[in-house]
Chains A and B, each alone.
Chain A
Amino acid sequence: MTVIELTNYSFDSKKTGRPFQPFDFSLAHGDVFSISTDSVEDALTFLKALATLVAPLSGSYRFLENALSFSNHQYLLEAKKNIGFMTSHAALISNRTIRENLLLQRAYFTNSLSPKLDPNAQALCNLFALENKLDLRPAALTEHDYRCVIAVRELIKKPLVLLMEYPEQYIGITNLDAFNDILFDMVGGQVGIVFLSEYKNFIETFSKRDLVISNGTLQTVEG
């Protein structure tokens, strides 16, 4: 079963300043794509398009075989909720503490304001050495810790799809081995992953197929 299916899809290319040539793309459960590109901005725009943060110029977007309508942001929330998004575009809510940021989605969907992290979230916080920073505001964090909090938040979402931009920089090389183990579990759990990386070892470890984004075109290459 496909999680994401784009048909005849197109959006503006930052590199060429023109729309992308319409393309088809599908991501099934457990699929892993790495992106090769001559334009990081276009790759990020593609990740944002997969996250439904960019409205298409043409084509259709199906999430879990349901066609999405971009006419109202509320129609996209159900899909967005199931997409982990670890890119430079991701952020934390600045007037909330790290704990509140991590608990925000749970608080929203369970109508509970309990400040207790679940064991999985607690374990991830320990892994990324965040356990003593939970009551700080995002502005008090280093850039590395800030990105780690985003990573933890996206992982505890239990997404069906994980989109990543340079995970080696996001997580840091020192945490990458531990992060790889988490990713192996996720791929085994049928999570689809699309990532942009320059770290050869990471690409070779995870990539099953390659997406080539070049001059406003997108092609899939079997790995």
Chain B
Amino acid sequence: MQRVIGSVGRQALASFNQIATQVTLAYKILRLMTVPSKYGRALVRRITMEQVYFTAVQALPIIVPIAILIGGMIIIQFSRFSGQYDLGKITVLIIVRELGPILTAFLIILRSATAVTIEVGYMNVLHEVDTLEMSGIDPLWIVCVPRLVGITSAILCLFIVFDVVAIVGGYGLVWIITYIHLGEFLLQIANAISVADITVGLIKAVLFGITITVTCLYHGFKTQKHITQIPVAASRASVQCFIYCLIISTVISILFYL
């Protein structure tokens, strides 16, 4: 019995320690952004642009068809369920409030977050982080800040793209079976959507971006010695990002809509 309690206690302490370290890392990166170093600004700008390109632009060919399919699926189901009377309202409820931000975050986790963990893990194992430091370059400024800014802004942009494409593209996919005109459908959406919906979406996207980046950077930097630790770190990072995003999404929905 004592062993079980001891094991649970150790795991709880380890989890607490990890969360505290991640919060500290997030604080350090955000502080660097508010009081930026006078050095390395051109490099940080370039790496941030590269990160936005890899995370947002290169993800468009994946996110657009997924958004159309999911939008179409939801509109088909709810057009039958509600007799198409509240179709716009239901679409806002499901896509803009909940599915848009969370599905965008999941796609980013699958596509880019694991890549960040692997990249930083390799940099650590192959002593590239030490190499940066030996040149007097701060890895937090040159590695972490561009990834945080790049991934967060990518999630923000992709979340908007996802919502618009899911609604309009989804409608386009199923226009044959609906008798509501596009104009009427969009009017329903315009009437249903509120400032709170947009604000909540933006808050979720920013928090997802920070959480995903910090979790991936944490696991990447934790990989110290062996190259075989990198896939394990990538797997742990993606699962944790997934869970954290679900928790954040639920908590924000409760705070704003209950």
Residues of A within 8 A of B (CB): 51, 53, 73-74, 76-78, 80-83, 85, 89-95, 104-105, 107-109, 111-113, 153, 157
Contacts and interface: CB of A to CB of B under 8 A. Distances in A.
Interface string B30-59: 000000000111110010000000000000
Contact of A80 (B40, B46, B127, B133): B133
A146 B16 CA distance: 42
B126 A94 contact: yes
Interface string B120-131: 001100111011
Interface of B: 39-43, 46, 119, 122-123, 126-128, 130-140, 142
A113 B44 CA distance: 11
B134 A51 contact: yes
Contacts of B43: 104, 107-108, 111, 113
Nearest to A73: B133
20 contacts: A73-B139, A76-B133, A81-B134, A89-B130, A90-B131, A91-B126, A91-B127, A91-B128, A91-B130, A92-B128, A94-B128, A105-B137, A107-B43, A108-B142, A109-B136, A111-B39, A111-B40, A111-B43, A113-B46, A157-B135
Contacts of B130: 53, 89, 91
Contacts of B40: 107-109, 111
Contact of A77 (B42, B126, B131, B137): B137
Contacts of B46: 113
A108 B127 contact: no
Given A80-B134, A91-B126, 8 more contacts: A73-B133, A77-B136, A80-B136, A81-B134, A91-B127, A104-B132, A107-B43, A157-B135
A104 B39 CA distance: 12
Contact of A105 (B128, B135, B139, B140): B135
B134 A95 contact: no
Contact of A78 (B41, B42, B136): B136
A77 B137 CA distance: 7
A51 B39 CA distance: 22
B134 A85 contact: yes
B126 A107 contact: no
In order of increasing CB-CB distance, the 7 nearest A-B pairs are A81-B136, A105-B135, A91-B127, A108-B40, A111-B42, A91-B131, A77-B136
Nearest to A81: B136
A105 B137 CA distance: 7
Contacts of A53: 130, 133-134
A94 B122 contact: yes
Contacts of A112: 42
Contacts of A73: 133, 138-139
Nearest to A79: B136
A95 B122 CA distance: 11
Contacts of B41: 111
Contacts of B39: 108-109, 111
B187 to A, nearest CB: 49
Given A107-B43, A108-B40, A111-B42, A81 B135 contact: yes
A85 B139 CA distance: 18
A92 B137 CA distance: 14
A136 B138 CA distance: 25
B254 to A, nearest CB: 38
Contacts of A113: 42-43, 46
A108 to B, nearest CB: 4
B206 to A, nearest CB: 26
A76 B46 CA distance: 25
Contact of B137 (A82, A94, A104): A104
Contacts of B126: 91, 94
Nearest to A48: B130
Given A108-B142, A111-B42, A113-B43, A92 B134 contact: no
B131 A108 contact: no
A100 B130 CA distance: 17
Contacts of B132: 93, 104
A73 to B, nearest CB: 6
B62 to A, nearest CB: 22
A19 to B, nearest CB: 20
Nearest to A101: B131
